Amino acid sequence: MRILIDARTIQDHFPGIGRYVFNLAHALAPQLEGELLLLVDPRARNSHHPLADLQRHPNITFIPASIPIFHWRSQTHLPSLIRALHPDLVHCPYNVRPLRLPCPSLLTLYDVIPRLFPAYFPRRTRWQIEIIQRLALRASTGFVAISRVTARDYGRFYGVAGDAITVTPLAADPIFCPQPDETVHALRLRLGLPRRYHLYLGSNKPHKNLPRLIRAWTGTSALHHAADPPHLVIAGFWDERYPEARELAARLPARDRIHFLGSVPNLHLPALYAGAELFLFPSLYEGFGLPVLEAMACGTPVACSNTSSLPEIAGDAALYFDPVDLSSMAAALEASLDPNQRERLSRRGREQAARFTWQQTARLTLAAYIRTLGFS
């Protein structure tokens, strides 16, 4: 087979999707009997994923395309470029994709957050997303979904037939693993972290539910009576459109024990996870919830929402809570204070994370390519 992946998403503007495409290409190349063409934008800022690492695979060829994903030339010029390459199939990992292609195409499905939480999006933005999504679905021959929940929701909201979707769960990067004490200590010094902390890592978008997490965490009295109580560390990309969590924290008596780090380089994330006594993930909805798997791979106990894909990903290796119920969240926080419970969660979390590999993701994706070509 001659497969082309639109890898222009391997750039800083698409941190999650870029990580997915980078790791998929790495794992897919050894399994693919044929050529893997990667459409890349050499002008896009990419500080996380070294494209040169992919060049060690002899069947990977980079196709430079200095056409931004959101530019109109993606629709007018890119199809001609792709036509000249004669691929058997084009894999589009993002719903802003060329709509007229000369061969079958596969689309990756992530989540339906705008449909589930319309109040979080301005009306115009919501309609734009909906139009782009419907056009992408109509233009695609087959689909891969990152979880069973995502596959179910695309059937529910968009009528995508279940037999047209292959579920291809994601995995944690190999860098996520238990860290030496000296590495964790060095990161604490570098970032000014306290000795004991609970961690949230992700964006501050509304569905991430940070204000409720802060209310539950500060309202759980058992967390604050120790001589050396834990702090709450909130890390990840900060969108200035949603200041509510930071504003709430600034008004609380425990504000000196709540730290907002912003984005942390990939290199430091394993130690950040490993140094935490507990990883907290209160999201209202996740298409997959990769930070949960990353924390587990580092041996960090996890407490997370009991919604969407998270039980599918975390299995019996997490403490669960209702993300809209502060008392439920507080009960999980109190349960995490038991050292035996944390040890069990750490052990089971490492076992659970090991069940997800990029090799498996690649194998399932390759099966989806074969199925899609069979449908065409």
Domains and CATH numbers, the chain: 2-171+357-375 (3.40.50.2000), 181-354 (3.40.50.2000)
What is the amino acid identity at position 6? D
- pTM confidence score: 0.93
Side-chain-facing half-sphere of 138: CA atoms under 13 Å:
8
- Sheet containing strand 60-64, edge to edge, reads 60-64, 35-40, 2-6, 89-92, 105-109, 142-145, 165-167
Q: Which residues contact 216 (CB under 8 A, 6 or more apart)?
A: 282, 326, 329, 330, 333
Distance CA(146)–CA(152), nearest Å, equals 11
Closest CA to 94 of 104, 79, 111, 109: 109
Per-residue b or e along 167-191, where b marks 16 or more CB atoms closer than 10 Å to that residue's CB: bbbbbbbeebbebeeeebeebbeeb
State the maximum Cα–Cα separation within the chain, in Å, rounded to a whole number: 68
pLDDT of residue 237: 87
Distances (CA, A) of 25 to 121, 162, 244: 32, 25, 38
Residue 224's Cβ-count burial label (10 Å; 0-12, 13-18, 19+) is middle
φ, ψ of residue 26 to 5 degrees: the values are -60, -45
List the structure tokens of 261: 């780090």
Distance CA(192)–CA(188), nearest Å, equals 5
φ, ψ of residue 105 to 5 degrees: the values are -140, 150
pLDDT of residue 265: 87
Distance CA(208)–CA(203), nearest Å, equals 7
Residue 375's Cβ-count burial label (10 Å; 0-12, 13-18, 19+) is exposed
DSSP state of 361: H
Phi-psi region of 375 (alpha: psi -120 to 50; beta: other; left: phi over 0): alpha
pLDDT of residue 375: 55
Which residue carries 């972290």 as its tokens? 193
What is the amino acid identity at position 50? P
Closest CA to 65 of 129, 144, 11: 11
pLDDT in tens, the chain (376 residues): 999 999 999 998 888 899 999 999 999 999 999 999 999 999 988 888 889 999 999 999 999 999 999 999 999 999 999 999 999 999 999 999 999 999 999 999 999 999 999 999 999 999 999 999 999 999 999 999 999 999 999 999 999 999 999 999 999 999 999 999 999 999 999 999 999 999 999 999 999 999 999 999 999 998 888 788 999 999 998 999 999 999 999 999 999 999 999 989 889 999 999 999 999 999 999 999 999 999 999 999 999 999 999 999 999 999 999 999 999 999 999 999 999 999 999 999 999 999 999 999 999 999 999 999 985 4
Distance CA(309)–CA(59), nearest Å, equals 34
Distance CA(31)–CA(45), nearest Å, equals 29
pLDDT of residue 3: 98
